[in-house]
Amino acid sequence: MKRILFICSILIGIVFASFAQNVTLSGYIENKATGERLINATIVETKSGRGTSCNRYGFFSLSLPRGENRLSVSHVGFTRVESTINLQTDTLIVMSLMPGNYLEEVLVMEKKNIFSSALGKHSLSLDWVKRMPVVLGEADVLKSLHFLPGVNPGQEGLTGFSVRGGSPDNTQFLLDGLPVYNVNHAYGYFSAFNGDALQDVTLYTGDLPARYGGNLSSVLEVTMREGNRKKYSGDIHVSPVAGSVVVEGPLKKDKASFLISGRRTWLDGLLWMGQKISGSDFSTGYNFYDLNIKVNWEINSHNRLYISMYNSRDSRFATWKAKDSKRSDRFRFYWGNLSVSGRWNHLFSPTFFSNITLYYSQFNNSQIMTVYNESISQREQSKTNSRLRDWTLKTDSEISIGEKHRTRFGTVCSIKYYVPEMSYIGSVNLNEHVRDTTTGNVYSLETYLEDHWQLNDRWSVDAGVRFSLLTVPHARYYSLQPRLSISYRIGESVLFKTSWARMQQAQHLLMSNSMGMNTDLWVPVTQRVAPASSDLFSIDCFYAFANTWNFSIEGYFHRMDHVVRYKDGILFLKTKDRSWQDYVDMGKGRAYGLEVMAKKTTGALTGWVSYSWSKSERRFDHVNNGEWFPFEYDRRHKLNVTTNYTFPIKERCKFNKSFSINFTLATGNYISIGKQFYHAAPMPESFQTDADNIQYREYIECPNNFRMPAYHHLDISYTLDNRKGKGSSWVFGIYNLYARKNPSIIYHKQTKEGVTTRSWSLLPFVPSITWSYHF
């Protein structure tokens, strides 16, 4: 025991002795033009190469030797700043970067310092996202991510999102740290994130730090802009399907600012107009909107408050009137998110940064049908409503210990209330709930600790652990989720890395094959349905060449347990006094793959080429005789090319011009379809009756038994970006230039000639013009 104490005291002495040689430089890096803090900006001491990057609040902390230090501060799209600072004591500073001129802004797509390069993590510049050609000109963060290796889309045109073999709910979508449960508009045609209001998009596909929990595959962290603290400004954005407005400005100059962003589709207006012209008694429509509000207030150099609100809603409706009826009947489906958060940043010391977040987030999905009953002259209504409500308090802290350690720790306490589905019928003699399934609270307590340890110039270790305790009615679940990543650097340009992350997901998303309505159903962990868990292993290599090219190769294996799916024959829940738990199977998943990416980060021509080889499968005891079968998001090969060429600037020209080309070539995804028919066993007591008229069944040997034809399309866009601060900008785009008919679905149809097979293809050759005005 004495020996242990002796060794500990020596180690502690060494640590403190090493601290005494250094002082801590900490602070914030912000945009000089707007006062907004910059996420992921890097600061490097040029002589030693020591450096760090800002966290999600623009805060950094760096241990440097006493005396003069030459610092280089940079961020994508901003002019690099170099300055000398004489450090004698721990110092807190605010550094500002000026947005670069256009050339620098667009030519430097992502100039990463090797310190900040993290394999298994992708950050996209919002400027880049806005230039990418997309469907109907709506800048789409999620679709842009489909061009990354390891991210597989679902059906053509939709924002299905599968990362490294996970299902869409295995990715956690965070907007300013708030979970967003419905990330799509228009059944997935557009993402629910309005690109005009965003500052940063980062996708973690592997090596998930311990500070992230509650998902099996990946985390998409989206950060909203803070709002201009210097002056009032705004943007108007008009595309063929939607319009959006962003207004921002100081509430108190250099101290507090706000940003309000709203977007709404006019698809319903177009449809209404068409129906009026045709004079139809049946009218149907669809609309969506989203609204972002963010306010921040810098109380003093050590304290800052943020309040954010996000609201989005999709609505599908129809009204019709029967002949001779006095009133019309109608149905309405609507679903969406509402999230509100308050965050408090506090700097305890130059090395100790902390954030406390309190948020409320909810997802609602309602379907209401109202019918007018002529015989009793009353309206009757049926209603189905599923809800998820989430109250969470969490703390996140980070502390720099010497020059070698950056430690983060935190706690998350949450109460989630689920109403998986409830149906209600109101009629003359009946006013009752016919379904009221497993409702109730799920309490969770999670805590994490992670440390980045820079052993020496070559080796670094990121180690962490996350502990979670879930309490549900009649059951408790504990889990310990270790995370480990070891990096080895050779020189300034080569990095090897291997990582392992164990993760747990305490809720499931049940999705049906039907696209006709939103059937997303978030369900909790229960006594019968255990939390899903996974292990993600990866081995990566990164090579930076001539400060222009980045190459990366990543291999992974992803093992999943307790993943759920509807049992066969269940498409979505209907009215019955039974639990959704009766309708799901629990099983296993596995995925593995190799991802290669070459990225050109500087010059007039920038972009990347990526290729993924992957395989993803599922296994359930009661499906396919317990054998593995393909996962619907499995695409064996996927090649993406995305490029942007910036034309040389002409002084007389009002616009900066750029041209983008995107190309996708991928193996088709899987669907279920019968390739053979077989004679069916009869229904009971139905011999020689009408009910037995189906004499055959499709023979589907296992779910997802058919791979669709190869999927590919070429998209182009031409951007005219106003060079002045105010004025119009334009994006002209064509999605699917050569009108490739990528099937969304394949099905058989019985005709007089026999059975024919048909496919539906969406979005062949979609031109668009997008206009935006900055003021």
Partner 1 sequence: MKKEVVGIFLVLLTWELLLNGCEQKLHLDLNAQSPVLVVNSILMADNDSVRVRVTWTKNVYEQGDFPVEANASVKLYKNDRFVGACQYQKEGWYIIVHHVEATEVYRIEVDVPGRPLVWGETRVPAPLLNASIECDSLQERIINRWTDREEEKNYYWLSSTHSSLNGVPDTLHMELLSYLQTNSTLPDAFNRSFDFDEEIPAEYDYYLRVEDSGLSGKEIELSYKGRRSGYYYWEPDTGCYKSIRFILSLDENYDRYLKSSIVNDDYLAAMDSEPLFYAPLWTYSNIHGGTGLVASYSKYEDLFIQVFTKRE
User: Of the candidates 696, 738, 769, 775, which one interacts with partner 1 according to CB under 8 A?
Assistant: 696
377 touching partner 1, by CB under 8 A = no
Minimum separation from the CB atom of position 701 to partner 1 (A): 8
Q: State which residue, 340 or 762, has the beta carbon closest to partner 1.
A: 762
699 binds partner 1 (CB under 8 A): yes
Interface residue with partner 1 among 352, 764, 771, 774 (CB under 8 A) is: 764
**For residues 544 and 389, is the Cβ–Cβ distance under 8 A?**
no
Classified as helix, coil or strand, 612 is strand
Asked if 157 and 140 touch (Cβ cutoff 8 Å), the reply is no
Please name every residue paired with 190 in a beta bridge, in sequence order, or none if there are none.
185
Strands 637-646 and 629-630, bridge-based pairing: unpaired
Distance of closest approach, residue 515 Cβ to partner 1, in angstroms: 5
Binders in 273-292 for partner 1, by CB under 8 A? 273-274, 277
Residue whose CB is less far from partner 1, 424 or 592: 424
637 in contact with partner 1 (CB under 8 A): no
Nearest residue to 47 via CA among 71, 27, 29, 63: 71
Q: Which stretch binds partner 1 (CB under 8 A): 24-32, 302-310, 438-446, 699-707?
A: 699-707
If we measure between CA atoms, which residue out of 350, 266, 317, 272 comes closest to residue 52? Answer: 350
Minimum CB distance to partner 1, residue 719 (Å): 22
Of 728, 774, 770, 735, nearest in space to 240 by CA: 770
Residue numbers 472-531 binding partner 1 by CB under 8 A? 513-516
| Binding pattern for the stretch 670-689 against partner 1, x by CB under 8 A and - elsewhere | -xxxxxxxxxxxxxxxx-xx
Q: How far apart are CA 769 and CA 720, in angstroms?
A: 11
Q: How far apart are the first and last CA of the chain?
A: 70
Applying CB under 8 A, among 6, 282, 348, 760 the residue interacting with partner 1 is: 760
Residue 377 beta carbon to partner 1: minimum distance, rounded to whole angstroms: 13
State in angstroms the smallest separation of the CB of 181 from partner 1: 23
- Per CB under 8 A, 324 contacts partner 1: no
For partner 1 (CB under 8 A), the number of binding residues is 84
* Nearest CA among 67, 57, 82, 78 for reference residue 23: 67
Between 100 and 668, CB nearer to partner 1: 668
Instruction: Determine if 745 is a binding residue for partner 1 (CB under 8 A).
Output: yes
Per CB under 8 A, which of residues 168..227 are in contact with partner 1?
A: 189
- Residue whose tokens read 């060494």: 14
H or E segment at 11?
A: helix 2-21
Chosen residue from 101, 373, 527, 548 binding partner 1 by CB under 8 A: 373
Least distance CB 671 / partner 1 (angstroms): 7
Cβ-based neighbours of 375, under 8 Å, separated by 6 or more: none
**CA–CA distance, 104 with 314 (Å, rounded to integer):** 39
Comparing CB distances to partner 1, the nearer of 262 and 703 is 703
Nearest distance in Å: CB 169, partner 1: 19
Question: Quick one: 300 or 375, whose CB is closer to partner 1?
Answer: 375
Residues 6+ apart with CB under 8 A from 601: 108, 109, 110, 111, 112, 548, 549, 550
Tell me the closest approach of the beta carbon of residue 144 to partner 1, in angstroms: 20
> 564 to 593, contacts with partner 1 by CB under 8 A?
568-571, 574-578, 582
CB of 752 to partner 1, least distance (A): 12
> Longest C-alpha distance within the chain, in Å?
97
Nearer to partner 1, 91 or 427 (CB): 427
Of the two residues 21 and 757, which places its CB atom closer to partner 1 in the complex? 757
Strand pairing category for 431-436 and 405-426: antiparallel
Residue 288 or 310: the one with the smaller Cβ distance to partner 1 is 288
* Residues 277, 272: Cα–Cα separation, whole Å: 9
Q: Is 774 helix (H, G, I), strand (E, B) or coil?
A: strand
**Shortest Å distance, C-beta 631 to partner 1:** 15
d(CA 101, CA 95): 19
Binding-site member from 367, 744, 770, 772 for partner 1 (CB under 8 A): 744
Q: Scanning residues 654 to 673, which ones bind partner 1 (CB under 8 A)?
A: 671-673
Considering only residues 229 to 248 of the shown chain, the ones binding partner 1 according to CB under 8 A are 241
Nearest partner of 199 among 176, 172, 177, judged by Cα:
176
Judged by CB under 8 A, the residue of 305, 415, 434, 486 near partner 1 is 434
Site for partner 1 in 132-161 (CB under 8 A): none
Q: What is the 3-state secondary structure (H, E, C) of 523-575?
A: EECCCCCCCEEEEEEEEEEEEEECCCEEEEEEEEEEEEEEEEEECCCCCCCCC
Name which of residues 331 to 360 contact partner 1 (CB under 8 A): none
